[in-house]
Structure 1
Amino acid sequence: MKRIIRKMREKRGDGYIDVAVFVLVMVLVLATITKVVPAFILKNQLNQFASEALRQAQIKGEIDIDCSEISKNLGITPEEVIWEADTFSEKKIQLDGDILVIAKVNYDIGLFGDFGSFSIPLVGKASGKSEVYWK
Structure 2
Amino acid sequence: MLTILRQKRGEGYVDVAVIVLAAMLCIALVVQVAPVFVVKNQLDTFASELIREAEITGRVGSETSSRADELKNQLGINPTISWSKTGRLQLDTDVTITCTMTMNIGLFGGFGSFPIELTAKASGKSEVYWK
What's the TM-score once normalised by structure 1's chain length? 0.83
What is the aligned partner in structure 1 of residue 124 from structure 2? 128
What is the aligned partner in structure 2 of residue 4 from structure 1? none
What is the aligned partner in structure 2 of residue 113 from structure 1? 109
Q: Percent identity?
A: 50
Residue by residue, what CA displacement relative to the aligned partner does 1:91-117 show, whole Å, maximum 9, x if unpaired?
111111111111111111121211211
1:100 to 96, 101, 108: 96
Query: RMSD of aligned C-alpha atoms?
Result: 1.5
What is the aligned partner in structure 1 of residue 84 from structure 2? 84
Deviation at 1:16, TM superposition (A): 1.9
What is the aligned partner in structure 1 of residue 15 from structure 2? 18
Q: Which segment is superposed worse, 34-43 or 105-114? A: 105-114
Residue by residue, what CA displacement relative to the aligned partner does 1:10-39 show, whole Å, maximum 9, x if unpaired?
x92112221111011100000000011111
What's the TM-score once normalised by structure 2's chain length? 0.85
What is the aligned partner in structure 2 of residue 72 from structure 1? 73
Superposition map of 1:28-39 within 5 A: 28-39=25-36
Residue by residue, what CA displacement relative to the aligned partner does 1:31-51 show, whole Å, maximum 9, x if unpaired?
000011111110000000001
Residues paired across the two proteins, number = 120
Instruction: Tell me, in whole angstroms, the C-alpha distance in 2 between the residues paired with 1:81 and 1:42.
Output: 15
3-state SS, counterpart of residue 134 of structure 1: coil
Structure 1: segments with no counterpart, 5+ residues: 1-10
Q: What one-letter code is carried by the residue in structure 2 that aligns with 1:114?
A: G
Instruction: Tell me, in whole angstroms, the C-alpha distance in 2 between the residues paired with 1:56 and 1:71.
Output: 15
Deviation at 1:133, TM superposition (A): 0.8
Instruction: Tell me, in whole angstroms, the C-alpha distance in 2 between the residues paired with 1:75 and 1:117.
Output: 22
Residue by residue, what CA displacement relative to the aligned partner does 1:51-105 show, whole Å, maximum 9, x if unpaired?
1111111111112421101211222211x101113xxxx6111111111111111
Instruction: Tell me, in whole angstroms, the C-alpha distance in 2 between the residues paired with 1:112 and 1:36.
Output: 12
What is the aligned partner in structure 2 of residue 60 from structure 1? 57
